[in-house]
Chains A and B, each alone.
Chain A
Amino acid sequence: MEKTFDWFGSRGVTLRKSGLDREYAGAVEGIEGVELVLLSAGEIPRELASGNIHLGVTGSDLVREKLANWDSQVGELAPMGFGGADLIIAVPQAWVDVDTLDDLDAAAAAFRAKHGFRLRIATKYHRLVREFLREHGVADYQLIDSQGATEGTVKNETAEAIADITSTGDTLRANGLKVLDDGLIHASQATLFRGRRKDWTDEQRKTLKALQTMLAI
C-alpha cells in the first residue's frame, strides 16, 4: 500500500487512509472526482470486472489468474515498477535430469508409469499453470491446490513439483528446489488497471483522462 501511495504521490496525486487506522477508506487529494477504496489485492480483479470499482492496483498475475479473457474485462494502464515477482515452475534440485519443460514432460510420463498417478504440481495459480503447460505440450501432470507454504509440499511428498510466485528464489533453494530454465509462466508486478465495463458516465471518463494526464500514463 505504501509503495502505491508513493507511486501516486510522486506524480502529484496524494492518497492516504482517512480516519481510524482500521478503517479501509481513504482520501484522494490533487484531483477531483476520485475516491479511494482499500481492498485486498486478490479481490480487486473481480471488483474491476464487475464494475464496482473503476480503477485498481493489483498484481498482474492475480488479474490473469482470476479473470477469464482478462484483457477483455480490464485494461492495463501502467505497470508500476514494484511488487515484482515471477510465477515459475520449480522441481527438486535432485532432479538433475530435469531442466526444461521438455524434461518435465518426459519425467511426468515415466513417473505416471511407475507410480500409477499423474505427477503432482502444487499451486494456487490453476488457470495460468494449466494454460501454460497446455501451450507447451506437457502431459501426465495434475495440479494440487496449495494456498500457502507451497515450497514445502515436495518435502512433505504431497507434490512432486510446484508452480509459485518467487522474487529472489531464496526460499526455493532453501527448500531444495530449482526453477526450470523455460519455466517462467508470468513476470508479475503491481499494475494499475481499469475496468472495461461500458457503463462509465462521461464524467467518469473525463476524470480518468485528467488522472492519466497527471500521472503521465
Chain B
Amino acid sequence: MPNSPETRAEARRLRDLFAAQGAQVIEADVLQSAETLLDLYGEDIRARAYLTSDPLRGEMVLRPDFTVPVVQMHMESHADPARYAYAGKVFRKQENDETRANEYMQVGYEVFDGQNPAAADAEVFAVIAEGLARLPVRAATGDIGILTAAVRGLQTTDARKAALLRHIWRPHRFKTLLKRYAGGKVPATRTALLAADDPFANAGSDIGLRSRAEVEARIAALRDDAEQPPISSDEVMLIDAILDLRETTPNVLSHLRDIAVDMPAISDAVARMEARVNALDARGVDVDNLEFEGSYGRTSLEYYDGFVFGFYATKRPDLPPVATGGRYDALTARLGEGRAVPAVGGVIRPDLALGGA
C-alpha cells in the first residue's frame, strides 16, 4: 500500500496541486550526509533513520524527511521569497511496530517568506487542507512559540530559562526541572556536594576530556543556582495552564489573553497567534471549530518552534497523522551558518490519505 500505483498517482496529484500554488518542484538526494542530522537530533536519529557508511563520504543516512535537504537547498540558492513542492520516499526505522511502513511517500509544500509569517502559516495549513479535501479529517493545532515565550518571560535566571528551553521537547524532563526550580527537592548528592569543604576530596585522578576546570565551572553554576529564589508558584501555574490548554481556537485565544495579563511576556506570541487565526479565517478555514492544544508538537522531532499542526483521518484513528507541518525558523538559523529565513511547511502521506478514506 505505501508504494502502490494508486499511492504514486495520489502523490503526483498532490504535488501538482502544490505546484499550482506557485511552488517550484524540487528533488532531493535519497542519501544524505548523516553528520547534519546527527548534529541536529543526536542519537535519537539512529533509532528513527537508516544509517549506513560510505568509505569516502563517511556516515550517510537514507533521508528520514525532506525538511533538512530543502532548507539546505534554499539557503544555497539565496532566493527569497520561495515556495517549494516535492514528492518522494522517506525511510523510517520502526523499532516497535512492525505494521507501520518503513518506506513511504511524502508530498510536501514549504514556504520561505518572512514578509507576513501569519499569512504564510495560514497558506501552508490551507493548502494542505485542500490536498485532503476529499478525506474526512480532524485537524489539531498548537504553537510552540507561546510556550517558549512564556519560559523566556519567567522571573528567573537566564541559566534556568536556557535549561527549560533546551527541554521543551522532552516534557518529562521539562516538568522535573520546572518543579525543582520552583523550590522542589534537590538530589541529596547535590546538597552534599555544595556543603562539602573540599568537593574534590575523593575525586581520584583527572581522566578524560572533561577537565577539572569544567567540573569547577559547573559547581560554581550549581552554587549560584542554589542561591536563587524559586520560580513563583503563580508562574508555574501559568505555564501549566498553557500546557493544559485543549479547546477550540477562539476559547484558547480568550484564555491566553487572560494569562497574558499576568504574564505580559507572551503578549507578542499571542498577538502573532491572533494574526494567524485571522489569516486562517480569511482563507476560509473554520477557525471557530479548530482545535488547539497547548502541548501539541512537543514530542515530535525538535525543529518546529512556532505554529504546528496535524491532520487525522476521522474514520481511522489508529493511523498516524495523514499530514503534519509547522514553522521551523530556528532550524534555518542552525543550518544557514548565520543566516536565518522564516520558514513553514507541511507534508501529506498519500498512502494514508487513500487508506483513511
Contacts and interface: CB of A to CB of B under 8 A. Distances in A.
Contacts of B208: 92, 94, 154-155, 157, 159-160
B218 A110 contact: yes
Contact of A140 (B42, B176, B204, B205): B42
B170 interface: yes
Nearest to B170: A137
Contacts of A106: 163, 218
Interface in B147-178: 163, 166-167, 170, 172-174, 176
B187 A139 contact: no
Interface stretch (A24-32, A45-53, A55-63, A97-105): A97-105
A55 to B, nearest CB: 24
A189 interface: no
B237 interface: no
B43 A92 contact: no
Interface string A102-120: 1101110111001100110
A176 B47 CA distance: 31
Interface residues of B, number: 39
Interface stretch (A10-18, A78-86, A126-134, A201-209): A126-134
Contact of A130 (B43, B187, B205): B43
Given A139-B166, A142-B38, A95 B205 contact: no
Which of A68, A95, A100 has most B Cβ within 10 Å? A95
B216 to A, nearest CB: 9
A147 interface: no
Given A69-B96, A99-B187, A133 B218 contact: no
A97 B215 contact: yes
B203 interface: yes
Given A157-B209, A176-B207, A95 B187 contact: no
Given A92-B210, A94-B212, A137 B167 contact: yes
A118 B200 CA distance: 25
Contacts of A100: 187, 189
Given A97-B193, A118-B42, A109 B166 contact: yes
B205 A102 contact: no
Nearest to B41: A139
A139 B42 contact: yes
B209 A115 contact: yes
A106 B174 CA distance: 13
B227 interface: no
Which of B42, B46, B208 has most A Cβ within 10 Å? B208
A68 B203 contact: no
A154 B209 CA distance: 8
Given A155-B207, A176-B204, A137 B173 contact: yes
Interface in B110-128: none
B46 A130 contact: yes
Contacts of A97: 193, 199, 215, 218-219, 222
Given A105-B173, A106-B218, A110-B217, A139 B167 contact: yes
Contacts of B206: 92, 94
B288 interface: no
Interface string A121-155: 00000110011011011111111000000000011
Nearest to A142: B43
A96 B215 contact: yes
A166 interface: no
A203 B207 CA distance: 59
A93 interface: yes
B4 interface: no
Contacts of B334: none
Nearest to B218: A97
A105 B180 CA distance: 15
A181 interface: yes
A68 to B, nearest CB: 5
Contacts of A141: 42-43
B42 to A, nearest CB: 6
B204 A94 contact: yes
Contacts of B174: 137
A82 B37 CA distance: 42
B197 interface: no
Contacts of A111: 210, 214
A94 B207 contact: yes
B203 to A, nearest CB: 5
B54 interface: no
B37 to A, nearest CB: 12
18 contacts: A69-B96, A93-B202, A95-B215, A96-B200, A96-B203, A96-B219, A99-B189, A107-B218, A110-B214, A119-B210, A130-B44, A136-B172, A137-B173, A137-B176, A139-B42, A157-B208, A160-B208, A181-B189
Interface of B: 38, 42-44, 46-47, 95-96, 98, 163, 166-167, 170, 172-174, 176, 187, 189-190, 193, 199-200, 202-210, 212, 214-215, 217-219, 222
Given A100-B187, A136-B172, 5 more contacts: A95-B215, A96-B193, A97-B193, A103-B189, A137-B172
The 7 closest A-B pairs by CB, nearest first: A137-B173, A93-B204, A99-B189, A137-B170, A154-B208, A97-B218, A176-B207
